Amino acid sequence: MRIRLQKIIADAGITSRRKAEELILAGRVTVNGQVVAELGSKADPEHDHIKVDGKLLRRAQRHVYLLLNKPVGYVSTVSDPQRRPTVISLIKGVKERVYPVGRLDFHSSGLILLTNDGELANLLMSRAVAVPRTYHVKLESSPKREDLAKLEHGIVLDGQRTAPAKIRVLTERDKPWYEITLTEGRNHQVRRMFERIGCPVVKLKRVRIAFLTDDALAPGRFRHLSPAEVARLKSWKASP
Ligand code: URA
């Protein structure tokens, strides 16, 4: 059966469907020896020889869904040009090639999903679905109430207004802890938002992705999602 190339690449666990499109456009994908650089091209994963960067794709694998508690000091990419430790190095005893869904900064900790299911990765990253992610942040100083209201309402970052956010105080100290829930994930978004109101983040931990939380997961440990959790994520809809 002929299927879109980006789906075949995502299903083989190489990367998400969106990233696969970038690989195709960059001319890094060949089908039976010919570069295919157009989106929408199809191939037959059973019979065609599909290569990414010269490497033959393996057949679709069993889908794996992992929830990792990332410690500070790990990059959330599959490889790192600076040779820093990656989240993948924490995944022991899983033979499938998984990759992280979205990012957590090197200096951030907390929950991150890893999978080889390009379809689900794509869904969770899509703006339309707007999966909420909740962070606990320790701030350098106490923010003003009106500044928090600005962040909740939306501020302009990179020329685009941020989506509404929910913020609540967790502990009032000279370096207070706050909880913030976002439905989008721009680069360093939480840090940049608090920076904007003059209260830099000194610690950042992601504590929830959609409905997924896990207090029992020690830093550096991961667990497989249950079939019910996977089904619930797959049918996740943005709240109106
Ligand atoms: N926002 C940030 O600034 N950093 C993260 O790691 C996640 C969200």
Residue 150 confidence (pLDDT):
98
pLDDT of residue 238: 63
- Residues above pLDDT 70, as percent of the chain: 98
Residue ranges matching CATH 3.10.290.10 in the chain: 3-56
CATH 3.30.70.1560 correct for 133-209: yes
Contact 180, 171 (CB under 8 A): no
Domain 3-56 -> CATH class:
alpha beta
Give the residue range(s) of CATH 3.30.70.580 domains in the chain. Answer: 65-127+212-234
- Which atom of ligand 1 approaches the CA of 185 most closely? 8
Provide the CATH number for the domain formed by 65-127+212-234 in this structure.
3.30.70.580
117 noted as active-site residue: no
Query: Whose Cα sits closest to atom 3 in ligand 1?
Result: 188
CB of residue 191 inside a 6 A radius of ligand 1 = yes
Is a pLDDT exceeding 70 seen at residue 219?
yes
- The residue-averaged pLDDT of 80-102 equals 94
In the chain, CATH 3.30.70.1560 sits at 133-209
Distance 49 CA to ligand 1 centre (A): 39
- Asked whether 94 and 71 are in contact (CB, 8 A), the reply is no
Instruction: Note the pLDDT of residue 185.
Output: 87
